[in-house]
Amino acid sequence: MTAAPDVSAAPGQVPVAHGLAAPPAPWRLLLRKPTFLIGALILLFWIACAIFGRAIAPHDPLAQDLLATNSPPSGAHPFGVDSIGRDVLSRVIVGARDILLIAPLATLLGTVLGTVLGLAMGYFGGIVDTLVGRVVEAVLALPVVIVAFLFIVAVGPSPLTLIVVVGFIFTPLIARTVRTAVLVEGQQDYLASARLLGERPGYIMFAEILPNVFPVIVVEFTVRLGYAIFAVATLSFLGFGVQQPTPDWGGDIAANYVLLGAGYWWETLFAALAIASLVMALNLVTDAIEQVISS
Amino acid sequence: MTDQGAAEESPHGVPAGPGGPSLQKAPRGRPAEPAEPAPRGFPGGRPPGPAEPTLDVANLDVTYRVRGQNRPAIRNVSFQIGNRESYGLVGESGSGKSTVALALTRYLPRNGLVTSGSVSIAGRDVLALSGSALRALRARTVSMVYQEPGRALNPSIRAGRQIAEVFEIAGLDRQTSTDRAEDMLRKVQIPDPGQVMNRYPHQLSGGMAQRVIIAMALAAEPSLLILDEPTTALDATVEAEVLDLVAGLRADMATSVLFISHNLAVIAKMCDRVGVLYAGELVEEGPASVVFDQPSHPYTVGLLRCIPRRGQRKDHGRLDAIPGFQPAPGQDITGCIYADRCALVIDECRTSPPPPFGIGPDHSARCFRHEEAEGLPRSTPADASLPAPPNADDPIVTLRGLSTTYKNAGSELKALSGIDLTIMRGETLGLVGESGSGKTTLARALLGLVVPDPGSVLEFDGSPLPADLRRRPRQLLRAVQIVFQNPDSALNRRHSVRRLISRPLSRLAGLSGSRLAERLADLVRSVRLEQRHLSLRPGQLSGGLKQRVAIARAFGGGPRLVVCDEPTSALDVSVQAAILNLLADLQAKEQVTYLFISHDLGVVRYLSDRIAVLYLGRLMEVGPAETVFAGPHHPYTEALLSAVPSLDGQRRERIRLAGEIPSAATPPSGCVFHTRCPRKLSTGVCETTEPPLAEVEPGHLMSCHIPVEELRRLQETPR
């Protein structure tokens, strides 16, 4: 086989060989990371609780067994019973529902708004950047909890109010991160290429730049989600979030923590552990995603 | 290690014959000749006698471990550098040049491993050294200079302190060290060294920083100096100065040099002997003059043919590009590593790796058919369709008084100043100049990406061209397009090739449906991509393929003027040849006009009909390509031409520019070039009056106070 290359090719013909091998898909790399797997497992557990809570829970989380008030963990009530006779385990399981609905939606709202603002600031620059930037700085300078209080008091507490309030609080933070990422992309020649094709700003921002800053946005979303869980739990704890008697981790801690001194630790501890495990799981997942994206 | 005996027997060359453990078979065909003893009149001028080599690399194998798999990067590389010798290692990206340099000083990254072979520097076995001995070796015996001068200096320590540290480590006291550092700066010809001592690295220009680094590298008087692409990031005139400096220092100091570069001409100028590295193997080795004049490996032959030389122009025929690609790292190769791309391949090449065959004194090549290598058949036919010769007086673009000022935080930088230039229909206008000369600004102003100062006149095809891109109608948008320097930046990495090429077809050419698909297929064929590339993303393509996508994109709308902004400077030589051929073919087919920007004069000469030379935002010279190259030249053009190292034997009389390129923020008075002009008039007119761009010959314009006849006389008389 004296395979001499085809010398009689067309003028200037260069046999074009295969492209380079495709890099492995990001999700494949994720699945190889133990931190991601552990985090995702805990997360999935809480998502299952949020969806099927009522079916999984051994007792009705609202039912009061007044004869068993403040009874410690036992076979019938593995996490014990609270001060008004409700099963703590059932309340922890069902309590995942509202927080896992409110926190992601609030984060999503903040991410969408923040992304749009960040893209506009980074792409247009100049006066748009200055004006929006000042507003963003002003919002960042306000004491967050007080503003949230005022808003919730004015509108009245409800899951929707929580979503909007937390979403708005996150918007400027996310906008700032996205703006920085857009400014880095702004150095690239593909934006000049797009302008030379007469593309409109909307197309350039959303079809050209957005896909390239998407990894940054994904990481920002997951980081913010952890904070959102804290924020929602805190507001509920302070009485401005999910209202009793609806099972909720923050609300349940608020209702029972005064009894810690009396030794009724189970009424507070398990709800607190639930919050901690959820935030930790999210951080594990975020870390893994960040590593995969930056590698 | 089995090679040790052979190496000692023939101290003047690579061990000819079976090279090491991986080559069990005795070479068939022509038997390996033992290297001749002590070559007479050898051009390298190495000292006679069986002196121990400064660097001895034997059968070096280096592997990178990537995702659990071993990828060999260097295979069985052996070479030696004698005392005071300068050895060049040349190869394209991915050939393993830098890996060799890192392995020599044990600076390989964590996943890099020397799997076999030995390295000895000044008699010490580097691979066996302990931590402290290795530090001592790096401190005193070997020094390295890298490509990016800006990254090799600590930004928070003054230049003088950084050099003095080298002496302090050697045990001198602080005051003596500082004095010696100043001496070193004087040695590397830095004007006013006392002042430079106190500067921070960001206050130094690129050329100055590289000199400081060279000063640091030579401070310890090392036995071996490794230069890894030391001038690649520098401008031509600065590069010439740094190369002269290294050559001069080498004559004074007892230092051997390993010079690594992708630039064959630089290696030819700087080195006594040269090794050609391909995919981790040393395919050819020998005296630089011999290897470049009578190459004996088909790869070396192919590489040399890729470079436009001896005034070759597009109407003389196409360049001979090397077909195919360098094998991916880690690929299993049983026979010759170059077999897949070689036009001389025979069965034997596929089954057994060729050993180094001795060819002449100190010259060897790993090729069974080394005797026929120089007659390598062309892989690209020489003849090609030519564009209709451009009409000499039919301008498609007219620029009058084009000025551009960048304003930043109150300070102004005049990037272009009163440019008058026409581009003729169907021609290629080459735009030449060093960094900061305003080449890219001129291109961007033409494209509408930068808005020029009021008063600037831009005309396209006889009618005014709106300065702002957003004011240009679709017809003008599609008429002027660009191929950027770096395809990684110019192509959206999240879009598929299909989307990238289709978009101009729908946006500019207004195509859709089956007509778009037809034109897309046509376009893909004419830039020599394949259908299956369409579904890939840019990240999955090699550099050359990416640039083809960028070219297809520029041609999608049916442009009449394409700006090529250094389209090949990010590419390897063999890929560059294919892209230059493609640009020439497309021009012939589409009757398009090019504004071709490049710092590579050989490339500009190959492609251009006319040439414009920019310096500090002003036109120095404009004229037909052959006239500009033949002279009489503007003194700046003359300096540029003599700064570029050439592979062709004839060395022109060098004129060297003194000092640095002035900042465009504070341009010199009068003629902006007078601060560096070696032919400045003594009357003082150059300092006070800016010379007009005047026609000195038909079609040849120059901005110089010296009468053209005087220039002709000066440039013809050897100095």
Assess whether B116 and B55 both reside in one domain: yes
| Distance (Å, whole) CA A286 – CA A217 | 12
B399 in any annotated domain: no
To probe the interface with B, which of A197, A200, A208, A212 has the most B CB atoms within 10 Å? A197
Percent of chain A with pLDDT over 90: 30
**What is the bridge-based pairing of β-strands B281-287 and B363-365?**
antiparallel
8 Å CB contact of B494 and A211: yes
Give B289's strand partners: none
Q: What is the DSSP string of B563-613?
A: EEESTTTTS-HHHHHHHHHHHHHHHHHH--EEEEE-S-HHHHHHH-SEEEE
Q: CA torsion angle for B206, B207, B209, B214 (degrees, to 10)?
A: 140
Other CB atoms within a 10 A radius of the CB of residue B646 amount to: 17
What's the gap in Å between the CA of B279 and the closest CA on chain A? 16
Asked if residue A148 has pLDDT above 90, the reply is: no
In this complex, the residue of A14, A19, A195 whose CB is nearest that of residue B536 is: A19
**Chain center to CA of B613:** 20
8 Å CB contact of B323 and A5: yes
In this complex, the residue of B325, B540, B553 whose CB is nearest that of residue A193 is: B553
What's the gap in Å between the CA of B302 and the closest CA on chain A? 13
**Beta carbon pairs, A and B, within 8 Å:** 130
Residues in chain A: 295
**What is the bridge-based pairing of β-strands B457-460 and B395-408?**
antiparallel
Chain A residues touching B529 at Cβ < 8 A:
16
Other CB atoms within a 10 A radius of the CB of residue A294 amount to: 8
Chain B residues touching A17 at Cβ < 8 A:
324-325
Percentage helix, strand, coil, to 5, in chain B? 35, 20, 45
Pick from B375, B405, B428: which residue ends a domain? Answer: B375
Q: Does domain A28-52+77-294 match CATH 3.30.70.20?
A: no
To probe the interface with A, which of B494, B496, B532, B583 has the most A CB atoms within 10 Å? B494
Residues of A with CB under 8 A from a CB of B: 1-5, 7, 9, 11-17, 19-23, 187-190, 192-199, 208, 211-212, 214
Q: What is the DSSP string of B494-528?
A: TS-HHHHHHHHHHHTS---HHHHHHHHHHHHHHTT
Positions of E strands within B223-356: 224-228, 256-261, 273-278, 281-287
Q: pLDDT value at position B10?
A: 38
Chain A residues touching B341 at Cβ < 8 A:
5
Q: Is A81 helix (H, G, I), strand (E, B) or coil?
A: strand
> Quick one: three-class SS letters along A40-65?
HHHHHHHHHHHHHHHHHCCCCCCCCC
B275 in any annotated domain: yes
| Under 8 Å between Cβ of B503 and A197 | yes
In this complex, the residue of A2, A15, A188 whose CB is nearest that of residue B323 is: A15
Range of the domain at B160: 152-221
| Under 8 Å between Cβ of B91 and B283 | no
For the segment A168-222, what is each residue's pLDDT rounded down to a tens digit?
889 999 999 999 999 999 889 999 999 999 999 999 999 999 999 998 999 899 9
In this complex, the residue of A4, A20, A196 whose CB is nearest that of residue B343 is: A4
Pick from B375, B397, B420: which residue ends a domain? Answer: B375
| Distance (Å, whole) CA B40 – CA B46 | 11
Chain B residues touching A16 at Cβ < 8 A:
528-530, 533, 545
Pick from B221, B243, B272: which residue ends a domain? Answer: B221
Assess whether B230 and B208 both reside in one domain: no
Higher pLDDT, A14 or A193: A193
Q: What is the CATH number of the domain that holds B95?
A: 3.40.50.300
B215 in any annotated domain: yes
| Distance (Å, whole) CA A279 – CA A107 | 14
Assess whether B350 and B236 both reside in one domain: yes
**What are the residue ranges in chain B where pLDDT is below 70?**
1-51, 384-392, 649-653, 717-719
**A191, closest residue in chain B (CA to CA):** B490
Assess whether B366 and B278 both reside in one domain: yes
**A212, closest residue in chain B (CA to CA):** B494
Assess whether B24 and B118 both reside in one domain: yes
In this complex, the residue of B493, B540, B541 whose CB is nearest that of residue A212 is: B493
- Six-digit token string for A252: 């349940």
| Distance (Å, whole) CA B400 – CA B465 | 12
Assess whether B286 and B252 both reside in one domain: yes
8 Å CB contact of B347 and A188: no
B628 in any annotated domain: no
| Under 8 Å between Cβ of B329 and B281 | no
Other CB atoms within a 10 A radius of the CB of residue A284 amount to: 21
Other CB atoms within a 10 A radius of the CB of residue A285 amount to: 23
8 Å CB contact of A14 and B321: yes
> Which residues neighbour A79 within 8 Å (Cβ) at sequence distance 6 or greater?
A73, A87, A88, A89, A92, A266, A270
**A13, closest residue in chain B (CA to CA):** B380
What would the mean pLDDT of A105-125 be, rounded to a whole number? 94
Assess whether B171 and B136 both reside in one domain: no
Count the domains in chain B: 2
8 Å CB contact of A193 and B490: yes
Chain A residues touching B447 at Cβ < 8 A:
192, 196
Chain A residues touching B343 at Cβ < 8 A:
4-5, 7
- Six-digit token string for A233: 């739990």
Chain B residues touching A32 at Cβ < 8 A:
none
**A14, closest residue in chain B (CA to CA):** B323
8 Å CB contact of B449 and A7: no
In this complex, the residue of B328, B504, B528 whose CB is nearest that of residue A14 is: B528
Other CB atoms within a 10 A radius of the CB of residue B114 amount to: 18
| Distance (Å, whole) CA B238 – CA B208 | 9
In this complex, the residue of A20, A190, A198 whose CB is nearest that of residue B492 is: A190
Assess whether B260 and B322 both reside in one domain: yes
B714 in any annotated domain: no
Q: What is the DSSP string of B49-69?
A: S-PPPSEEEEEEEEEEEETTE
8 Å CB contact of A7 and B343: yes
Assess whether B127 and B189 both reside in one domain: no
Angle at B232 between CA B229 and CA B236, to 5 degrees: 135
| Distance (Å, whole) CA B453 – CA B451 | 7
Q: What is the DSSP string of B332-379?
A: ---S-TTGGG-TT--HHHHHSPPPPEEEETTEEES-TTGGGGGGPPPS
| Under 8 Å between Cβ of B76 and B53 | no
Q: How far apart, in Å, are the Cα atoms of B185 and each of B169, B215, B660?
A: 18, 6, 16
In this complex, the residue of A1, A2, A197 whose CB is nearest that of residue B508 is: A197
In this complex, the residue of B323, B492, B508 whose CB is nearest that of residue A208 is: B492
Interface confidence, given as ipTM, is: 0.79
Chain B residues touching A123 at Cβ < 8 A:
none
